[in-house]
């Protein structure tokens, strides 16, 4: 009897250890998705929850031994409800009452943390009736909790995202907590005083969480709609990010990643034409082109207007983003099918090779042809890989490199704006090649914008800035340049100012606008800062936050 009772308690400990860590991850991910600055949100949420767990572990000593098992099972039921419903409640709060979001968020974090803190001491107290030695009791309880935590982390990272959204994951975790409570109720039914009440509560909360699991996507869509002015036509959470497409009454399409606007169809051509065509005006050769980022295919659309492009390699980390660009009718219409016939490739032996034949898509497209012969079409290769890793492994050099990353609004993205990254980029650039980088706003985030230029210069690249107004974003900037041996700031400016015509049709950009984009206002590029961004200091992230929080 004693061994069986201990086993049941250890099993409950294992389940609760896995759920506890998974709750921390889930609440951290929700906070990061809604508030941005992912590393800071994860640190704050997990730190706050650990603190509350400590408070809960201390408070449990005030519970007397009377009805101790009933109290423990009741706490597990409450934990399952709070953990299961919390993320959805936070999403609704952020959309409907954003001023109260932080209060509600930390109310859930505190409550869940306190309940998690109750767990181990209470289980140890319950198990003391079956294990006399304190060191054995604590050792086994802690072991099962830590093993459960590792199991929970692995399942949360590798298994649950394959089948469930983040909100659904929370309901699954809540149901697992209720399963642990059910096991305890079944096994210790003779020792539970409030048996009927607990069973009724357990059944009601189970129905609530099961309903939530099946309705999660509908409820999530309703909650998310409060966050966006226009109607949501797609909401999708991937391994790497949360993607939302909206459509206005004027049929304008907007794309958001983790809540940040990526483009609006009403003016995206201003951004993308500025990103591509000045670089192509400078480049002596345009045969081999690399795009880093740009998984929506809009930059590729502009590149593929040039008949001299023989090969385009596009690298975007998220395969689900590029799948949308290749298959979603709305994005196909915007990017003119720029990725629709792309070969899906992987890296092997430092060279690009296609994946399985059924994943290799080659559809002749008149938009791709260069030269006079129909069979000569630009080869488009799509690689889903971290850009820094690609630059290390990719064979050959490129005439033009387009860097179209999201803004450096977290530490993970900050590394893609580092001196080390630009040195790797320079290794992939032909001696007379040109690269261009979107570089956030020189008005709202001036120091971040200038830090990008300094970091490029520290990698032995000569660069110059230019800017334009994109209505959806405001004042926006780019850096363009090449190897120091071939290009100087003066030669870059002179050649751009000598641009008299564009080789391909554009919707917005003209040579005169390119000339004007090189001019900045008085003191707009002056600064007392001198630091560059590296892999370890994440200085650009600091500049970026300071800029967008305080303005110019």
Catalytic machinery residues: 404
Q: Could you tell me if 450 and 418 are in contact, meaning their C-beta atoms sit under 8 angstroms apart? A: no
Burial of residue 5, with CB atoms counted within 10 A of its CB: 0-12 exposed, 13-18 middle, 19 or more buried: middle
Q: How many Cα atoms are found within 13 Å in the side-chain-facing hemisphere of 320?
A: 13
Helix, strand, coil percentages for the chain (3-state, nearest 5): 55, 15, 30
d(CA 281, CA 499): 7
Residue 203 DSSP code: H
Residue 238: count of CB within 10 angstroms of its CB? 16
Rounded alpha-carbon distances, angstroms, from residue 92 to 35, 104, 126, 226, 261: 14, 11, 38, 8, 20
d(CA 384, CA 396): 18
Rounded alpha-carbon distances, angstroms, from residue 279 to 98, 318, 502: 42, 26, 11
In sequence order, what are the beta bridge partners of 463?
481
Q: What are phi and psi of 539, to 5 degrees?
A: -60, -35
- Which pair of structure tokens corresponds to residue 143? 């072991």
d(CA 224, CA 258): 12
d(CA 444, CA 251): 29
Q: Could you tell me if 452 and 403 are in contact, meaning their C-beta atoms sit under 8 angstroms apart? A: no
Residue 373: count of CB within 10 angstroms of its CB? 8
Angle at 68 between CA 113 and CA 77, to 5 degrees: 45
Q: Name the helix (H) or strand (E) containing 201.
A: helix 195-225
Task: Please report, for the chain, how many H helices and E strands are present, in that order.
Answer: 19, 13
Furthest C-alpha separation in the chain: 90
Distance of CA 421 to the CA centre of its chain: 20
d(CA 95, CA 228): 8
Rounding to the nearest 10 degrees, give the CA dihedral for residues 165, 171, 172, 177. Answer: 150
Scanning the structure block, which residue is given the tokens 């110019």?
552
């Amino acid at each position: 009897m004693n061994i069986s009772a201990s086993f049941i308690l250890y099993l409950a400990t294992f389940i609760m250890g896995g759920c506890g860590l998974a709750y921390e991850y889930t609440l951290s991910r929700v906070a990061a998705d809604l508030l941005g600055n992912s590393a800071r949100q994860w640190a704050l949420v997990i730190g706050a929850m650990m603190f509350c767990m400590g408070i809960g572990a201390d408070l449990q000593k005030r519970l007397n031994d009377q009805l101790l098992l009933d109290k423990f099972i009741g706490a597990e039921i409450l934990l399952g409800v709070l953990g299961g419903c919390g993320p959805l409640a936070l999403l609704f709060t952020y959309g409907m009452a954003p001023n109260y979001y932080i209060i509600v968020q930390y109310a859930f974090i505190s409550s869940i943390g306190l309940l998690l803190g109750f767990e181990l001491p209470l289980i140890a107290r319950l198990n003391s009736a079956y294990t006399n030695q304190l060191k054995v009791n604590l050792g086994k309880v802690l072991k099962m909790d830590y093993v459960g935590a590792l199991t929970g982390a692995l399942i949360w990272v590798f298994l649950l995202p394959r089948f469930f959204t983040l909100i659904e994951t929370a309901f699954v975790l809540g149901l697992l907590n209720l399963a642990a409570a059910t096991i305890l109720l079944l096994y210790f039914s003779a020792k539970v005083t409030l048996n009927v009440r607990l069973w009724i509560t357990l059944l009601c909360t189970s129905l609530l969480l099961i309903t939530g699991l099946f309705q999660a996507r509908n409820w999530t869509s309703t909650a998310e709609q409060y966050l966006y002015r226009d109607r949501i036509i797609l909401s999708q959470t991937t391994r790497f990010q949360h993607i939302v497409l909206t459509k206005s009454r004027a049929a304008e399409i907007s794309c958001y990643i983790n809540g940040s606007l990526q483009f609006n169809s009403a003016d995206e051509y201003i951004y993308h034409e500025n990103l591509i065509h000045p670089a192509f005006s400078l480049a002596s050769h345009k045969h081999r082109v690399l795009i880093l980022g740009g998984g929506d295919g809009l930059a590729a659309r502009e590149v593929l207007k040039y008949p001299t492009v023989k090969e385009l390699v596009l690298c975007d980390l998220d395969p689900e983003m590029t799948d949308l660009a290749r298959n979603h009718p709305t994005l196909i219409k915007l990017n003119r099918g720029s990725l629709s016939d792309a070969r899906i490739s992987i890296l092997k032996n430092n060279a690009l090779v296609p994946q399985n034949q059924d994943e290799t898509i080659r559809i002749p497209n008149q938009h791709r042809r260069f030269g006079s012969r129909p069979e000569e079409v630009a080869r488009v290769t799509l690689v889903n890989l971290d850009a820094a890793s690609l630059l290390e492994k990719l064979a050959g050099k490129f005439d033009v490199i387009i860097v179209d990353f999201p803004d450096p609004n977290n530490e993970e993205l900050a590394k893609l704006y580092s001196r080390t990254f630009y040195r790797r980029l320079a290794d992939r650039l032909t001696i007379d090649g040109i690269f261009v980088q979107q570089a956030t706003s020189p008005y709202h985030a001036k120091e971040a914008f200038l830090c990008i230029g300094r970091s490029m210069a520290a990698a032995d690249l000569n660069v110059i800035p230019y800017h334009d107004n994109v209505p959806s974003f405001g004042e926006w900037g780019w850096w363009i340049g090449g190897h120091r041996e071939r290009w100087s700031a003066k030669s870059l400016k002179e050649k751009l100012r000598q641009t008299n015509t564009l080789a391909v049709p554009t919707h917005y950009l003209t040579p005169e606008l390119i000339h004007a984009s090189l001019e900045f206002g008085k003191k707009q590029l002056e600064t007392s800062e001198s630091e560059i961004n590296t892999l370890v200091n994440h200085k650009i992230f600091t500049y970026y936050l300071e800029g967008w929080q305080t303005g110019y």
